[in-house]
Structure 1
Amino acid sequence: MADGRQIIDKMAQLIAQLRASCDSGFALAIHIRYTRPSLLYRSYSQEWIERYSEKGYMLFDPVVRWGLTHSGGIDWPDLAAEDPEGVLADAKAHGLLHGWTYSTGPATSRTISGLTRSSGPFSDAEKVTLGALVDAVHTTTEGMDQFDTATQEALRTLG
Structure 2
Amino acid sequence: MKTANRQEIATTLDELRAICDTGFALALHIRFTRPNILYRTYPQKWLDYYSDRGMMIEDPVVLWGLRETGMVRWADLPDPAGIVAEAEAFGLRNGLTCSVGPNSSRSISGFTRSSGPFSDGEAEHLLALTQRLHDMTENLSDL
TM-score normalised according to structure 1 size:
0.87
Matched, 1:131 2:127: yes
SS in 2 for 1:17: helix
Structure 2 distance, partners of 1:129, 1:105, is 16
Letter in 2 for 1:40: L
- For 1:6-155, list aligned pairs within 5 A: 6-79=4-77, 81=78, 83-144=79-140, 152-153=141-142, 155=143
Which has the larger helix fraction? 1
In the TM superposition, residue 143 of structure 1 has moved relative to its aligned partner by 2.3
Deviations 1:38-79 (A, max 9, x none): 100100001111111011111110000000010000000111
The TM-score normalised by the length of structure 2 is 0.96
- After superposing the two structures, state which structure 1 stretch, 63-72 or 3-12, moved more: 3-12
CA distance in 2: counterparts of 1:7 and 1:41, whole angstroms: 17
Unmatched tracts of structure 2, length 5 or more: none
Work out the CA distance in 1 between the residues paired with 2:119 and 2:69.
19
Displacement of 1:142 after TM fit?
1.2
Q: Distance in 2 between matches of 1:47 and 1:126?
A: 27
Give the greater-gyration-radius structure (CA): 1
Displacement of 1:107 = 0.7
Secondary structure of the 1:30 match is strand
**Structure 1 residue 102: Cα displacement:** 0.4
SS in structure 1 at match of 2:138: coil
CA RMSD of aligned residues (A): 1.0
Helix, strand or coil for the counterpart of 2:109? strand
Equivalent in the alignment of 1:147 = none
**What percentage of residue pairs aligned between the two structures are identical?**
51
Q: Distance in 2 between matches of 1:7 and 1:32?
A: 21
Counterpart-to-counterpart distance in 2, 1:4 and 1:57:
36
Residue 3 of structure 2 is matched in structure 1 by 5
